[in-house]
């Protein structure tokens, strides 16, 4: 079986991208139901559901840095860890939404900046806005 790895989320790298990669890894491992409450509840075999939950929990914990791990160490399921990470790193507050919108509206390409870097900055802002439920 092919071994897949993603960079650890350490708090300063891009949570939005790490989240996408982690979902893909969990899907690849057949464990994605663990982070979707309705999917986990639909599994009738309790032993299988528990195994999925334990494996997904372990993968998520092993994919975060020590500083971030300390913030979620008390969470005992993959779903609880996932929700806690989202609550910390995907703040949906009005202040954060306004800050992201301001960053988008004032985004300018620097004179010596590569177009690729500027487009990456733009795409990051769009993804961050989408993740905090900003539609327009």
Average pLDDT, the chain: 88
- Write the secondary structure of the chain as one string of H (helix), E (strand) and C (coil): CCCCCCCCECCCCCHHHHHHHHHHHHHHCCCHHHHCHHHHHHCCCHHHHHHHHHHHHHHHHHCECHHHHHHHCCCCCHHHHHHHHHHHHCCCCHHHHHHHHHHHHCCCCCCCCCHHHHHHHHHHHHHHHHHCCCCC
Residue 93 pLDDT: 60
Average pLDDT for 95-101: 78
Is the overall model pTM greater than 0.75, yes or no? no
Lowest-confidence segment of 20-29, 31-40, 91-100, 101-110 by average pLDDT: 91-100
Lowest-confidence segment of 52-56, 58-62, 89-93 by average pLDDT: 89-93
Average pLDDT for 89-100: 75
- When pLDDT is cut at 50, 70 and 90, the band that residue 2 belongs to is low
């Amino acid at each position: 079986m092919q071994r897949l790895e993603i960079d650890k989320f350490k708090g300063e790298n891009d949570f939005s991208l790490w989240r996408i990669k982690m979902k893909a890894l969990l899907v690849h491992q057949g464990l994605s139901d663990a982070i979707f409450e309705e999917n986990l509840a639909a599994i009738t075999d309790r032993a299988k559901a528990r195994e999925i939950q334990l494996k997904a929990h372990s993968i998520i914990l092993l994919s975060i840095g020590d500083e971030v791990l300390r913030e979620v160490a008390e969470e005992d399921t993959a779903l609880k860890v996932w929700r806690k990470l989202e609550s910390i790193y995907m703040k949906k507050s009005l202040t954060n939404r306004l800050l992201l919108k301001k960053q988008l509206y004032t985004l300018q390409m620097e004179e010596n900046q590569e177009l690729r870097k500027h487009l990456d900055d733009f795409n990051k802002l769009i993804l961050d806005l989408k993740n905090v439920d900003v539609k327009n």
